[in-house]
Structure 1
């Protein structure tokens, strides 16, 4: 864990600033050659994702990316084509992309918008059949391994773990969490005079670690206490 005296990076001042930071992080990640699956997420309550996705697609194309935007369902894709006529030729839904035939491997950047656990099987197949880089915007695959058999659950966990985070911005109670590729994860605390960088971490912190750091507690000590409680409860059961 890197100490909080590491160089500070300010949080974006507004949504458009966050989108610009996300664009730069996505371009850096896609161009790094360090993997084929990248994720970018703006975890704001009530966020209207369609305008964000359209602006991101336009910016990626303006930056020289040969892009294809895909949505999980036909209705969402139709709305995107209605609101962005200039992009209608590169907007498809999952079924349309699956049916598309090509003699050559498709190496375009695939911008996949908001896939959910319900789309898991179809989305995994699309990713495995796509020759280019996939950038997932506000994907929600974390719960895809819940409520299924153990073999399928492990297989799904493997797919979820294959994604790298290019950009992440999440408001928290009393703080915020950000990752902007190639930088580390940064946790901020909300003080009366604004947000202050609290900690820099090499990996995304789990909720317990995040809560402990924001509360000014040692997360390792908290985990040791919880482990001791678990052992005590296990002893009572035996």
Structure 2
């Protein structure tokens, strides 16, 4: 009985600690996106104005990758609203259509956001895009809906072609049941898009891309707190091995791997520091 009480207490403490961390991470995400939302809209507008048709905007924070987590959906929708509103301000009178993953989310948000200046639809709609839509933004499109995503992309390529922006897409799955050919097809499809903005915080650095610049891998400057050094630049997204080599060369390896919370806290701290650095 005593053992059960101890286990129950530890589980409660873990859950409470997890919730507290989520709240801090949520605040950081919202602050990050508010700081960068105006710049993101300018980047997308620059890309579209120069003739670009397929763009990706992504903030690769673990918390934003799991829609099943409690509260994660509400956080995602709030962040997407910030991006959509600033994109409307930047593009002026152009009509923007936001496509959400499912009809339930689209209906709920349309009800909650009665003052929204953009249109609503879902990937499950029979005709999610109308002829009067000038720019289409897909919010967190999922790999399970890839065929519908591809259909919309194909339709938007018709005369006259219209720009499509994917916001935090999740079209790549590493599930064991997914064959290599399917994965390659997904990666090829994504290669037809230009990543206009990408931020991936790491415990001791970040991977960053801001259109039209190169991909950059930064790591902590151990001699100057809250400063970063440029490790390397790439013309394409660096893979895991290339990132590992860069951080290995900085001597940032430890004998014992960090705990889950230590690793998450490292990402949280890195995000705050990196955003302060690039916002100066």
**Residues 178 and 187, structure 1, Cα contact 8 Å, conserved in 2:** yes
TM score, norm. by length of structure 2: 0.64
Q: Which has the higher helix share?
A: 2
Q: Determine if contact 2:98/2:118 at 8 Å carries over to the other structure.
A: no
RMSD between aligned alpha carbons? 2.7
Distance 1:18 1:89 in 2: 20
Q: Does residue 210 in structure 1 map to residue 239 in structure 2?
A: no
Match of 1:99 among 106, 116, 127: 127
SS at match of 1:197: strand
TM-score by length of 1: 0.74
Structure 2 matches for 1:63-212, cutoff 5 A?
A: 63=90, 64=92, 65-87=94-116, 90-96=119-125, 98-99=126-127, 105=131, 108-130=134-156, 131-143=161-173, 147-148=177-178, 152-191=182-221, 193-198=225-230, 199-212=232-245
The answer to whether the 8 Å contact 1:145/1:154 transfers is: no
| 1:29-78 CA distance string (max 9 Å, x none) | 222213x2110001123242111111111111122232100012012212
**What are the residue-to-residue correspondences of 1:32-43 with 2, within 5 Å?**
32-34=50-52, 36-43=53-60
2:38 aligns to what? 20
Worse-superposed segment, 86-95 or 156-165:
86-95
CA contact (8 A) 2:218 2:229 kept: yes
Q: How many residues align?
A: 202
Higher relative contact order (CA 8 A, sep 6+): 1
Could you tell me how far apart the structure 2 residues matched to 1:179 and 1:21 are?
13
Unpaired runs of at least 5, structure 1: 1-12, 218-238
Q: Deviations over 1:175-211 (max 9, x none)?
A: 1111111111122112450131323222211011112
